[in-house]
Chains A and B, each alone.
Chain A
């Protein structure tokens, strides 16, 4: 039972990170029906920038906590700019072109960003400076660290903020209108270009935070870290029903927990035949099974006729 609780907690931490990244996918998808394949790379850039800024400032004598905060803010600002330029360069000129065209430019941008990062930061794993003191908590036989607590609380706060933004502000209303019907929304005076750009900017800011979280959780960062993370987050978004905010959050957390439980118990289930290195399979098997029974995800509305 202790192991069970422990895995739930680990899964919750990983799942919060997935959820933050998944929100970026789902916002862009909900508004313009595009899989932003380069989103995972934005997470990676966020993590790497925060490492550079934090360690430079810390080396200059700034206290580590403050340097980390600066690192986080710089990463967010850079990623917001990056998200905005991605949309301007790779997606906006292609609106109205065949459906797969922006998918290929997204892949192209993903390759470009990965290799730019490799040129700037090199091929090696970089160690993430410990932003928070290593404090351990014990609760009902489970152990968790301060980093884990902060990750879960911060993501919950950010998600609440996003929900507020989407459902209680004018920009949010414009976003929902655009998602429903862009043509009509623009007739009602919504500036579609601005709405789409802001979806990218907000998603990228969340991605930057997620990048810093992954970095400080695993204490390493790498130019290839964004790819698999992005993939999992996208899986989470689809699992919850892509285009749906609550779905992305639930999907992310669910995926994290399923993965953690799967990794912990797969050996017992299969009598030792399959080991924990099959962890990555869980995400996809669960996805396939869920979509077999609910073809538009757990919380998704029934998709239209458009394939």
Chain B
């Protein structure tokens, strides 16, 4: 373990802290849209870390992770909007959202415990689709989710009289809504990161890794694989649920469209591209893959103008094209991800190359 109190690491921590505090104001100079993107990057860090527990630590391939995000988002939306006329306070909804997601995590986990590898992947994928289809259609005969129109006018995060939405003056500084949310998200993200780091080296974390490496051996040394696997699903789902709640409050609007399969796949891509099972890598992956499409959105048109003098190709599809290529190229040249854990990269370089997995 590193000595956290050494002068060197203290300066490092101080520098990172200052950077995190100043960041939204620097980014805000380019417009509040970028602060919003920054906030989404942090939300995706939440999601990626949650999925990392399931996929990275426990080695269970989950392709329907976004369902838990959806459950969290809809829990918030239903409990704090005019749709049912309910307006629960934050400290009540966030735990309820996490709990709901956790319940769904166990619901998904329990029938799939026997499944391995890719069978599990397709079942989780199906589960994600089922949740989305229900959200899309539960507007009749009883209107629960308001169908494809989604739920609007969702309450923002409020602590006492202080609302995170809208511009306000804090300590003589003007802060916009997205900037206030940024600080809330950073605080939550730090908490989530600490929980993840502590989990990784705990008894549970080691049990997950044992299951990932060899389930039968893990069972043989006395790990209750059923409970430990369910715990991985439940923990991962809870993080997704919390992220969903904040998403709902931040946007003020949710609809089933935000929870399509491609979102699950994106979060998985963040985890794998960053470096599966390695927390700093996963964070890097989430931030990069959130910013890359947005940066491309602004870059694609000027680049085309400079090269051809006119807009030759639809910028929207070109940007996704570049994004897809980037995924392929990164994995091609960094098969273990951009920032894999030291143990993992060692394993990979030592192993003789197999022809097939």
Contacts and interface: CB of A to CB of B under 8 A. Distances in A.
Given A107-B265, A284-B126, A95 B355 contact: yes
A100 B272 contact: yes
B257 interface: no
Contacts of A291: 112, 115, 119, 123
Contacts of B85: none
Given A105-B331, A306-B357, A112 B321 contact: yes
Interface stretch (B24-32, B72-80, B187-195, B312-320): B312-320
A87 to B, nearest CB: 13
Contacts of A277: 133, 136-137
Contacts of A108: 269, 324-328, 331
B317 A280 contact: no
A287 interface: yes
Given A104-B273, A238-B122, A288-B111, A280 B133 contact: yes
Tell me whether chain B's interface is mostly helix, strand or loop, or mixed.
Answer: helix
A101 B125 contact: no
B118 interface: yes
Contacts of A287: 122-123, 126
A100 B353 CA distance: 16
Interface stretch (A28-36, A156-164, A201-209): A28-36
Interface in B112-171: 112, 114-119, 121-123, 125-127, 129-130, 133-134, 136-137, 140-141
Contacts of B137: 274-275, 277-278
A96 B354 contact: yes
A301 to B, nearest CB: 13
Tell me whether chain A's interface is mostly helix, strand or loop, or mixed.
Answer: helix
B97 to A, nearest CB: 24
Interface string B266-304: 001100110010000000000000000000000000000
Given A100-B272, A281-B130, A112 B324 contact: yes
Interface of B: 55, 59-61, 111-112, 114-119, 121-123, 125-127, 129-130, 133-134, 136-137, 140-141, 212, 214-216, 261, 265, 268-269, 272-273, 276, 313-314, 317-318, 320-321, 323-328, 331-332, 335-336, 344, 348, 351, 353-357
15 contacts: A32-B357, A97-B335, A100-B61, A101-B336, A103-B268, A107-B269, A107-B324, A108-B324, A114-B320, A115-B317, A182-B355, A272-B141, A274-B137, A295-B115, A307-B59
Interface of A: 29, 31-35, 89-90, 93-105, 107-112, 114-116, 118-119, 178, 182-183, 186, 192, 231, 234-235, 238, 242, 272-275, 277-278, 280-281, 283-285, 287-288, 291-292, 295-297, 303, 305-307
